[in-house]
Chains A and B, each alone.
Chain A
């Protein structure tokens, strides 16, 4: 993935390379001028004022060097910014291709961490590693050429010793990679224990285990430290080795220069000093590259995690551009439509059914029978694997997405409340602007107006994540208000199994009765009266439709249905 970006950033990297060459020139010029000034004053006994021009050029060289270095760095920052935005967009598009069903919700925590933390980790590759790599390459290359031209023996020494740095780093890197990977996962486990203990404090106190738990923090922290030090020691040894190589090489150059100057006397002070100033510049670039390399590698790891996530197959539902007739609730027909999830054994066997306009349909069956999957298929949240879904006779994949979703609504057991005001949450049900009057009306119908008006900020109270927490009943009522505002032609309804209070239950009933008259209602039913009142009941068992009809029809002819209703009525009180 990072390689793809390299293509995209081609022009930019070329400019960065140019900047690094300029920077190398400034570095060389700077050293050259320092040596010139010292040479003039020290050996040529020049008058002070004669060096002043050189001083000014020297300062401008220094300025240029700093500017070029900043330009390279700034470019890296810009690349990181662009890359991260584009990666986040990709992730988002990918996730939303999968996010229509409940089955995916469990992993949302992981996805959030991938989206935020992992993508942030990639930053280092573009903002640190890449600019440093370009800068180091440019400076090392140019400076080496200058050194070689000035004094080829010094150049040779560098040529022989410098490659040891990357080679050495690679050897250490390969050797320690697995070890540190294993240690890092250990570290992650350790670092979580403190939070674990704090969150468990009530339990700790109720069981009277405070002292032991304190000990555990102490021990865990100590082993956390030791494990981290184990990883860090590798990095430190790495840079120690780097410094030794640099030191050895610079020492050799110094020795060689001294010998040539003193014994052979075939090297001038100027050249000797010039090379002696340039060599550390070269090695310091290599050292910086070494430390940037670590953050680069961490980023590459993060990038590959993102890549793995992107490779997971998404099965978005395809839509077309055929509009639907406006006046009537569309008819839905399944023709041998089937579906199965990537993971797990569950499979919805090919199913055929017709749901006419304004029909009241109940889907029943035991846990795991496939009720929700069928509902999702009908609502267009999941694609049919084989067979067809026809909406008003038009194949679903040809229907305009907006036309379909404009007509439907979906009430779940756990409606989602967005972080925002109560008003925003209710207004989700409408594309047009709505007056507070209308909002109040639907809120009152949903039985939540009293609650809203008791809030300190009324409709402007912030709810959802980071705001005020809502009880299950309150969330349910917000969702009802949304639905009432939307007035859907088809309502998909996953009936709550338990937990609603009498009031919410009543409100739910009344609201649904009102909606019934103007909408098709398809319900995964958990209430006896819903089943009894339905125009059509589908009985599911292990992914198959094993019964279809009204309550009376099924009760007479379907054994399984009979059994289910009987246990319900008889076995409850036992």
Chain B
């Protein structure tokens, strides 16, 4: 029950839709029962050629009940689905509220974006909880109980049989199915993951596979995976079909039992014969909607594991430490790394080891080094996004962990290696940096990064998939021109641009950051001559620090060697 708490709480917020769904569901069910009861009664009465008006009344009520039932069914569907989507909204907001304050911590923990896709998938799968797990048994139980009360007036014995049938269908069957369900739900999901990654491997790696003549073996492997996956899927479907068949058979069986039981009372003279057909019709109808109980356990299991996975994301996290210090907005920032080592969980080696450096206000600093050397990790540490294992990062003399991150970020202009853009217009994406930026300012910013061929109304798709790498980098920089900040942190801001454009844009940045600190992670070693300091990294360590001339003076220095190597590369 604890696992499902999250979805339960969010669901109960939507009392109105829940009540309407249950009410209309009940109405639809009970009118259907009445309808068939009435028609059973009608036919029995008709056998005795009753006065025509009884017939008219019955026929009229049959019609009325029929219409009510159909309309209620519509209402039930409408409100239950609307409720479902509102609940989904609540869950999304709840998840957002939980994750938002932990964002930097979660990023430290999970370097890849997989977890986010998983979270979204789990939220989506929770939509079945209300629709397939929560309210159908309530509606069924309500209809059953009302019908049983009515049946008591006709035959106590039949009512008892019906009660027993209800207990089996609503409680015993789902419980048994649930117990036998558990293990499979997990491995089906896993199997799908395996097949999907096998396929991606085969497709992406096809050239390698062909060259190494392993394509056929891999193809065979993929076929095997495919067969296993389909076999599992089919056996799951078959199991579901068997369960449905069991419930359907049992429901009808109960109706037949009631018929026999009532038949016995009639034969004994304890029950009027006119009620026999009616009782049977009631029994058949009241059990008609029970097949939904066959799929309930599967959905319950799914909701449970999704809900649990979601809560796990934030429950194991300590609440964010109360930030003691708010940075004053006008004070220049001074960073001091004292023997800092950074290690991501699940990694054996630290990403950065024993790094000591200073970032003084107003300085222009470059971090260089090969890929995987820890440059970006250093940058992430400045943003509080990296897990510091030992050592201290001081901001104006105070440990960075005690500083309210918001007050830190307020003073920063950041371009990450992978910049995020939202679905919307260019204008909306630019205004993300500064909501007061008017069209003119935005156009100016685009001009500075040489994107003036974009119009502000142009659409950006999710994650900027319709932009090229260079366009994304430039758009990310354009955002920064709209925002005041005392320190600019740029992680390979122009790596996808040609060197001429790169230089022009860096000059533009230089113009607006005369008095600001600028820290740039670079992958090219050009244009570093005027830096106040160059920090050279290799394999997680700072191997050299100094100005361009200082570094070039070192015989066999790492930077010098890299620089020589780079000049060997052709420019095309």
Interface size class on chain B is 35 or more
Cβ of B59 under 8 Å from chain A:
yes
Interface residues of A in 486-524 (CB under 8 A from B): 486, 497-502, 504-505
Q: Which of B47, B123, B205, B369 contacts A418 (CB 8 A)?
A: B205
Q: List chain B residues, Cβ under 8 A from A189.
A: 423
Contact with B along A332-349 (1 / 0, CB 8 A): 000000000000000000
Would A200 and B92 count as touching, CB distance under 8 A?
no
**B242 CB contacts on chain A under 8 angstroms:** 70
Nearest A residue to B124 via CB reads: A191
Instruction: Provide 13 A-B residue pairs closer than 8 Å at the C-beta atoms, listed in order of the A residue.
Output: A38-B259, A81-B230, A96-B219, A204-B100, A205-B409, A365-B572, A416-B205, A428-B208, A454-B348, A456-B348, A498-B524, A499-B370, A501-B372
Binds A, one of B136-144, B159-167, B192-200, B393-401: B192-200
Contact of A409 among B111, B211, B561 (CB under 8 A): B211
Contact assessment for A80 and B85 in the assembled complex, using a CB-CB cutoff below 8 Å: no
Q: A508 to chain B: closest CB distance in Å?
A: 11
Sort A-B residue pairs by CB-CB distance and give the 7 closest, nearest first.
A501-B370, A471-B372, A221-B89, A225-B85, A200-B420, A42-B273, A48-B267
Interface string of B544-572 (1 = CB under 8 A from A): 00000000000000100110011111111
Stretch at the interface among B177-185, B299-307, B355-363, B410-418: B410-418
A-B pair number, CB within 8 angstroms: 380
- Which residue on chain A has the smallest CB distance to residue B260? A55
Partner of B70, one of A244, A258, A273, A430: A244
**Is A47 on the interface with B (CB-CB < 8 A)?**
yes
Least Cβ–Cβ distance between A244 and chain B, in angstroms: 6
Q: How far is the CA of A497 from the CA of B523 in the complex (A)?
A: 12
Point out residues on B near A: beta carbons under 8 Å: 36, 39, 42-44, 46-47, 49-50, 52, 55, 58-59, 62-63, 66-67, 69-71, 73-74, 77-78, 81-82, 85-86, 88-89, 92-93, 96-97, 99-100, 103-104, 107, 111-113, 116-117, 119-120, 123-124, 192-193, 195-197, 199-215, 219, 222-223, 226-227, 230-231, 233-234, 237-238, 241-242, 245, 248-249, 252-253, 256, 259-260, 263-264, 266-268, 273-274, 276-277, 280, 348-349, 369-373, 383, 385, 405-406, 409-410, 412, 414, 416, 419-423, 432-433, 435, 462-463, 479, 483, 523-524, 526, 538, 558, 561-562, 565-572
Give the complex CA separation of A568 and B42 in angstroms: 99
A465 touches B201 (CB 8 A): yes
Apart from the given pairs A247-B70, A273-B277, 5 other A-B contacts in the complex at a CB distance below 8 Å: A205-B405, A208-B410, A269-B43, A269-B47, A526-B569
Which of A6-14, A104-112, A165-173 forms part of the interface with chain B? Answer: A104-112
Which residue on chain B has the smallest CB distance to residue A419?
B197
Contact of A55 among B113, B195, B219, B256 (CB under 8 A): B256
Partner of A85, one of B71, B120, B230, B264: B230
A305-330 interface (Cβ within 8 A of B): none
A221 touches B207 (CB 8 A): no
* Residues on B with beta carbons closer than 8 Å to the beta carbon of A210: 100
User: A218 is contacted by which of B89, B373, B565 (Cβ under 8 Å)?
Assistant: B89
Q: Is A152's CB within 8 Å of the partner chain B?
A: no
Which of A56-64, A353-361, A385-393, A549-557 contacts its partner?
Answer: A56-64
Determine whether the beta carbon of B82 is less than 8 Å from that of A229.
yes
Contact across chains for B565 and A572 when beta carbons are under 8 A apart:
no
Q: Which residues of A contact B571 (CB under 8 A)?
A: 567-568, 571-572
Q: Which residues of the other chain, A, contact B85 by a CB distance below 8 angstroms?
A: 221, 224-225, 228-229
Instruction: Report whether B78 and A233 are in contact in the complex, using a CB–CB cutoff of 8 Å.
Output: yes
Q: Given A99-B207, A221-B89, A419-B201, verify A429-B212 contact (CB < 8 Å).
A: yes
Is A199 in contact with B253, judged by CB distance below 8 angstroms?
no
Distance to closest chain B CB from A572 (angstroms): 6
Judge whether A527 is part of the interface by a CB distance below 8 angstroms.
Answer: yes
